[in-house]
Amino acid sequence: MAGVAQIVNSLGHGGVENLSSRIASALAEARLGSHLVVTAKGPVELAYAMAPSVEVWSAERHFALDLGALRRMGRYFDSAGVDVVHSHNWVAAYHAQGAAFFARQRPVHVFHCHAGTRQGAHGPLDQWVLRSVDTVVCVTEAIRGSFEAQFGLPEDRCLLLPNGVEVYALAAPFEGSPTVVQVANLQDPKAHDVALQAAARLKQRVGAFRWVCIGLKDEDPGYTERIHRLVDELDLGDCVELVGPRSDVRDWLRKAHVGVLSSDHEGFPVSVLEYMAEALPVVMTDVGQAPHAIREAGAGAIVKVRDADALADAIALRLEDRPAARAEGLAGRAHVERFFGFAGMMKALRGLYADGLLRRGRSAAAARIRGSQAE
């Protein structure tokens, strides 16, 4: 059985963590050996959301250069029959690369970059990691271009693959009180301060409404404290809810009218695709690749970064004209079904895994992965 391991730094509630767990589940459902390796010591909060046959394992890494943890990872690759490691973002890529030195048979390494290249002191170390990575997968064209410009990676090693999401049966429009949902961990660069300023303006314009913020609250305690304080200062306690991480995000999206992101910068956040898949119109700042998809689909509004007035106005228009907002949401859903389906993303990933194995002469494992696409 061919084995593939998703490598993540932690397994809390976040876009990258959710995506890696869904990939692991899809591989397990295709009857491949599927593993999710967490490098850092800590809880594995999303393990329950995965297919039962996914093997979740922690290297119990206590600090950045924990050689003992890397050695344990390398031995795990051997004992579990891991042929391919699929690391998500830079920290996981470093540890996957280090662990490969301790494995008897070096796995194919696919590095999935959700956030882009880095400058300064990281450059030489990043170059070292990339020398041995088989393929870099970039979620936006801008990220792919930055790898080409900074590291000179050829196009056949640095590929564009947008994130994908499942599109479930369409729910009926929510008929409750005006509700805004924002799925974003409480940390920079999500700019919840701008969101709260927009909420204060919205309260003056539309009166009673809900603004539900879903996401981790303990990654940056100082940031979280500032946001809680701003809720009080702006007298938003009766409408803004900081509900923390949730495993039932889709249920919350189905009880909202508008999906919002107020970020200062992004790559291509999965939350935007999840809004669109649930037929929510999207209002977000003009950052990353997602605005291109929203404009192309006619699925919402794009506003300038840190412009709380524009953010509030765009949200208010959609709360006040629900039929028009629903039409935008349905257009976004159709766009996601056509261009950002999870099944298409998985087909591309399995092809990358198999290609990497073939280049190593491991044809049996490659054939097993390719065969899983037809099952």
CATH fold match for the domains 3-164+341-372 and 179-339: yes
Give 304-310's long-range contacts (Cβ < 8 A, gap of 24+): 305/191, 305/264, 306/191, 306/194, 306/264, 307/194, 308/194, 308/197, 308/198, 308/201, 309/198, 309/201
pLDDT of residue 125: 83
Residue keyed to tokens 């796995």: 107
Which of helix, strand or coil describes residue 144? helix
CA distance 135 to 119: 20
When the pLDDT of each residue in the chain is averaged and rounded to a whole number, the result is 93
- Domain ranges in the chain are 3-164+341-372, 179-339
Q: Given pLDDT bands bounded at 50, 70 and 90, which one contains residue 362?
A: very high
Largest Cα–Cα separation, the chain: 65
pLDDT at 48 > cutoff 60: no
Report the CATH architecture of 3-164+341-372.
Answer: 3-Layer(aba) Sandwich (3.40)
Q: What is the pLDDT of residues 134-180, one digit of tens each?
A: 999 999 998 999 999 999 999 899 999 999 999 999 999 999 999 99
Is the full-model pTM beyond 0.85?
Answer: yes
Q: Which CATH superfamily is domain 179-339 in?
A: Glycogen Phosphorylase B; (3.40.50.2000)
Read off the tokens for 210.
């809900």
Task: Using alpha carbons, select from 117, 71, 59 the residue that is nearest to residue 98.
Answer: 71
CA distance 101 to 98: 6
pLDDT of residue 240: 98
pLDDT of residue 2: 87
User: Residue 29, exposed/middle/buried by CB under 10 A (0-12, 13-18, 19+)?
Assistant: middle
pLDDT of residue 45: 62
